[in-house]
C-alpha cells in the first residue's frame, strides 16, 4: 500500500491505475483433439505456415481475446483450425515455461477434446506413439503414415504426453471413454477404446462384467448390421451429460 492508494475507493483507484506498470505474459490456449481409430490413438495437428517454427506440426491453438473466456477461446480454436464443434472439451493443465515460445512470454492453457472417429472421417489424423507404460511417462511422439516421427512445435509433445496420462488416470473412475464412441456401440468397441488408451490388452470376460455392472450402459435392443460375423448387441451410455 502506498500514499496514492491509501484510503482510495475502488473507482478512484481504477481511475488512476496504469495497466502497463507491470509486465504481463500473453495467454494462449492449445487443444489436443483426440480420437481412436483402427485401434490407434490419433490426434489432429496443423502444420505451421508462418514463423516461428514454420513447417512444424502443432495442436490447434490461439491467443485468448480480452473479451472471451478460456473455454470460448479453445472452442474457437477448434472451430477455425480443426473445423470441429460440439465436442467434449476439458481443461488439462497450464504450461508456462519461460522460454516455451520464442516470441514472448506465453502461458498456454491446454485443453483436450474427445470425439468419435466417425465425425472426423475426412480429417488428417496422426498416430500417437507412446514410448512408455502406465501413467509415469513424459512426452510422446506423433508419427506420419510412413512411421517417421513428426517435428512438433513448441512443447506440444509434452502437452500430448500429459493428455495420455490424464486419460489413463481417469479411465477407471470416469466415463470419459464413452466420448470416443458413437451414440450406440458394442462392448467390443468399448473394450477397444480402453485397450488403446491404456496401451495393453484387457481380459474380455472381466471387462464386460465390470462394464455391465457399472450402471453406465443401457441395452438398445438392437444389433449391429452389415457385418460378416454374428451381429453384436448395441449399447448406449446412460449418463453422457454427467461427464
pLDDT at 69: 98
pLDDT at 97: 96
Within the chain, which residue ranges are assigned CATH 3.90.79.10?
A: 23-170
Alpha carbon 62 to its chain's center: 15
CATH architecture of 23-170: Alpha-Beta Complex (3.90)
pLDDT at 241: 45
Within the chain, which residue ranges are assigned CATH 1.10.10.10?
A: 175-242
R_g over Cα of the chain: 22
- The fold adopted by the segment(s) 175-242 is Arc Repressor Mutant, subunit A (1.10.10)
pLDDT at 242: 38
Mean pLDDT by 10 residues, the chain (243 residues): 70 86 93 96 96 97 97 97 95 97 96 96 93 93 94 98 97 93 96 97 97 94 81 87 41
Query: Cell 451410455 appears where?
Result: 237
Amino acid at each position: 500500500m502506498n500514499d496514492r492508494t491509501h484510503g482510495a475507493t475502488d473507482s478512484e483507484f481504477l481511475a488512476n491505475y496504469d495497466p502497463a506498470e507491470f509486465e504481463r505474459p500473453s495467454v494462449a490456449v492449445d487443444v489436443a483433439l483426440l480420437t481412436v481409430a483402427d485401434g490407434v490413438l490419433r490426434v489432429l495437428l496443423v502444420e505451421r505456415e508462418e514463423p516461428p517454427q514454420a513447417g512444424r506440426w502443432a495442436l490447434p491453438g490461439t491467443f485468448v481475446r480480452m473479451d472471451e473466456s478460456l473455454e470460448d477461446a479453445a472452442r474457437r480454436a477448434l472451430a477455425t483450425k480443426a473445423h470441429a464443434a460440439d465436442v467434449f472439451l476439458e481443461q488439462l493443465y497450464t504450461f508456462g515455461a519461460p522460454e516455451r515460445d520464442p516470441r514472448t512470454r506465453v502461458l498456454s492453457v491446454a485443453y483436450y477434446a474427445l470425439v468419435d472417429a466417425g465425425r472426423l472421417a475426412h480429417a488428417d489424423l496422426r498416430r500417437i506413439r507412446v514410448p512408455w507404460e502406465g501413467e509415469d511417462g513424459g512426452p510422446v511422439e506423433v508419427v506420419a503414415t510412413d512411421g517417421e516421427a513428426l517435428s512438433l512445435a513448441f512443447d506440444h509433445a509434452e502437452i500430448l504426453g500429459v493428455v495420455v496420462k490424464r486419460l489413463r488416470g481417469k479411465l477407471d473412475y470416469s466415463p470419459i471413454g464413452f466420448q470416443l464412441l458413437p451414440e450406440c456401440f458394442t462392448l467390443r468397441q468399448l473394450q477397444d477404446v480402453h485397450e488403446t488408451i491404456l496401451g495393453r490388452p484387457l481380459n474380455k470376460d472381466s471387462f464386460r462384467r465390470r462394464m455391465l455392472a457399472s450402471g453406465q450402459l443401457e441395452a438398445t435392443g438392437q444389433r449391429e448390421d452389415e457385418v460378416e460375423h454374428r451381429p453384436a448387441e448395441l449399447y448406449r451410455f446412460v449418463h453422457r451429460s454427467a461427464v
